[in-house]
A = this chain, B = another copy of it.
Amino acid sequence: MSLQPVAVADDESTTLGIEIYARLRRDLIAGHLKPGERLRFRQLSSIYGVGIAPLREALSRLVSDQLVRFEGHRGYTVAPLSLSDLHDLCALRTELSCNALRRSITRGDEDWEAEILAALHRLERTPLPHSVEDRKIVDEWELRHDRFHYSLIAACDSPWLLHFCGALSDHFQRYRRGVIVVTSSSQELLKRVRDQHRTIAEAAIARDADRATAVLAEHFQGSVEVVIRNYEEVSLSLSAGNGDEAN
């Protein structure tokens, strides 16, 4: 005769469609599903162990998320990666994230500051992967990295801006995943990135918007350069069939 209701916190009222959407989304962003790859129903059905009804639902949503392409009667494919998309993505991400960071610096309270420091601490304590095969480690690093960047802009007080920043961040992760090992194997790069994270956090909390946004922009620009520098080498895994259309 407990005083608490019987229902524990794991109820969550989920559906297969929602679950498979989340799983596909993760695998798409993590690059487990290769750009350009065809997403056949039977294949996915046996891999993920669900019927095609929830699969269609999930894939349909992913089309609007721009992670999957669809052609009537010809099925779904993983959205391709391209240099031009990368440039566009990063330019806008820099613009929007800096904008959101400025707003956050203006509006953020002590909890916002505390969350930044907490997220930064967790990120710094995460081991870096030595190989792309260290999926667990890569996943964990990406998760904490995302959370850190989210914590910076979380107080911007604009759901739409946060939503767009999130979408761009997710898409950029598809490019970054391919070179994270390269980054983590260079002591010089590693130090620079870590210093940038810390500098951005400190500047934000010190309400130095100019400095924070300047370093954030630099940080993004640096990531893009690493990706581009390694683009030729990884282009095989980037585009399985089509890939970049214009440059």
Contacts and interface: CB of A to CB of B under 8 A. Distances in A.
Interface of A: 13-15, 17-18, 53, 56-58, 60-66, 71-74, 85, 88-89, 91-92, 95, 99, 158-161, 163-164, 168
A74 B11 CA distance: 14
11 contacts: A13-B71, A13-B74, A15-B73, A17-B56, A53-B56, A56-B56, A60-B61, A64-B65, A88-B159, A91-B158, A92-B161
In this complex, the member of A71, A91, A92 whose beta carbon has the largest number of chain B beta carbons within 10 angstroms is A92
Contacts of A91: 158
Contacts of A63: 61
A110 B7 CA distance: 65
B13 A89 contact: no
Contacts of A64: 61-62, 64-65
How many identical chains are in the complex? 2
In this complex, the member of A73, A74, A159 whose beta carbon has the largest number of chain B beta carbons within 10 angstroms is A159
Contacts of A161: 88, 92
Contacts of A15: 72-73
Nearest to A19: B72
Contacts of A168: 160
Given A61-B63, A64-B64, A160 B89 contact: yes
A106 B132 CA distance: 42
Closest A-B pairs by Cβ, 6 of them: A64-B64, A13-B72, A57-B60, A61-B64, A60-B60, A15-B72
Contacts of A18: 72
